Structure 1
Amino acid sequence: MREWPRRRSRPRRERSGHLQLAGEPVSIVEAGVVGVERVRARAAVDPVAAALLAEYVEALSDNVYSRAQVLCAMRSEELLGLCLAAGNLVPLDLPPEGLEALAEHVRRRGQRFSSLVGPAEQVLALWPLLRRHLGPPREVRSDQPSLMIDHDPAIGADPRVRQSTPEDLDILIPACVAMFTEEVGYSPLTAGGGYERRIKALVNQGRSLVRIDEGPRGREVVFKAELGTVGLGVAQVQGVWVHPRHRGRGLAAPGMAAVIHHARAHFAPIVSLYVNSYNTSALATYHRAGFRQVGTFATILL
């Protein structure tokens, strides 16, 4: 009797929305179901890679919204990996079946995001699963070196870089808008007042650094940066910007050294950031300040 080749087994969709693999369902559940300490321990395995989730993970004990925004991929009692589903979608350390279950979860709920961002292998594997649901991207940034420093900067700090104050907001917010527009391609003010509130909050928390000099039209921001996320022992620097008129003068590296000192003295022993690989001048600046590459991120702008 002729033997016919067996069919290769394929994942099977359950009515519950779980993904059936190897006899065990992979489910996406909210962090509150899994437990705060367990989720925190999972994220802390690689705190630099988890930096974009860190504040949400740290807030799990007190903030019910964070418990719904931090998602966990589970197979039975095994925690496979995490994902932040807030304004951005940020996968962390999910195996292929976890990525498929997450994509199914997002599609089923009809969620939309500003970007898909995180460790490159996660983002670039998840994107094909969500491309049709999320629509065409505005830009794909597939190679963004993830950098960190856990010691004093390699160069001296700019003594003029200081913590921002509410009195700086009249010129700081326009500088932040200019940075965002230059980086992303549209003004953040088109989305309402959320961006301004975010900058004011960072100033009030001591997480905004600025150098202000006298310019042709009065006070102007020469250099600025924010500690966009702080948690799990990591402060991630975001929004680094030098006024166009002052670029090429070597101000960014000493400015970053001041940011490193401030972050490590007041917030976290590790300072991180990620940057586009094609931005060679920024990469040179960060390496000069003492950062080293520890991974690669990717961002899909939606």
Structure 2
Amino acid sequence: MQLGVVGLGRMGQIVVDRLVTAGHDIVAFDLDAEAVATAADIGATPADSLDTLLDTLGETKRLWLMIPAGEAVDATLTQLEPSLTETDIIVDGGNSHFEASIRRAETSDATYLDCGTSGGPAGAELGFSLMIGGQQWAYDELIPVFDAIATGPDGHDRMGPVGSGHYVKMVHNGVEYALMQTYGEGFELLANGRYDLDLAAVARTWNNGAVIRSWLLELCEEAFRAEGVDLGNVADYIAGGSTGTWTVQEALEQEVPVPLIYQALAERFGSRATGATGDPDGRFSRRVANRLRYGFGRHDVARRDE
């Protein structure tokens, strides 16, 4: 299948790589010429502008946007829209707010799919988890694309109408916040408890048959082995996007109690109150969460001044 990919950052390059490997015909564009060249090296057809990308695609256009949520998505759509019709399909694979996705679908001439994407750069080998909202026919037509980008047929599904994909991904990220906080608190107690423990060994043991085994726990082991049991100079500053905040806001609107997710979000806000490197004597749990963000997303690790 021919597909245009717009946005060639870490995640976008993985999308291109997996699609090319699966035999799809990819046309790639990014504002960064070096990123376009990297995609071309992978096997994509490079485009030096959105107009070139549109001209290169066939009469029926299939487009995957992998760009930052917000104004960048709207600006890109403004440029694309004059060339699109209802038979064309746009997939927004970024972390857009679900209400923004609904608005865009209602105002776009093209058929709009909102696609929540989870897996981070680790998905380069494993594939992503894709949560997709939008019309059934458009989802069905792009199943070969979703199969290639995801872990396979079990790694994606249509969640429901437009907006539902990004809605499910929003809640996914809220759950992620709470899980990271929970692991952090457990390791904080072990680090300050009665025994001198090898936390990497604890994580490895827990991850082999224990009820609480998970990929995040594997990343905890990786963090302790790379940084040391005390996490070295990893700061108690937790950066992050807006999805956790959106989850709590939606819970308030729906009057659904989410105390664990809320507390995890509050811990993140508290970590930022002391500046970009956090409190030198701050919470070990926050430092775990900081380092975990690098593990799954290759986000920058905030570090304390030594």
Using structure 1 for the length normalisation, give the TM-score.
Answer: 0.30
Instruction: Between the two structures, name the one with larger relative contact order (CA 8 Å, sep ≥ 6).
Output: 1
Using structure 2 for the length normalisation, give the TM-score.
Answer: 0.30
Greater helix share, structure number: 2
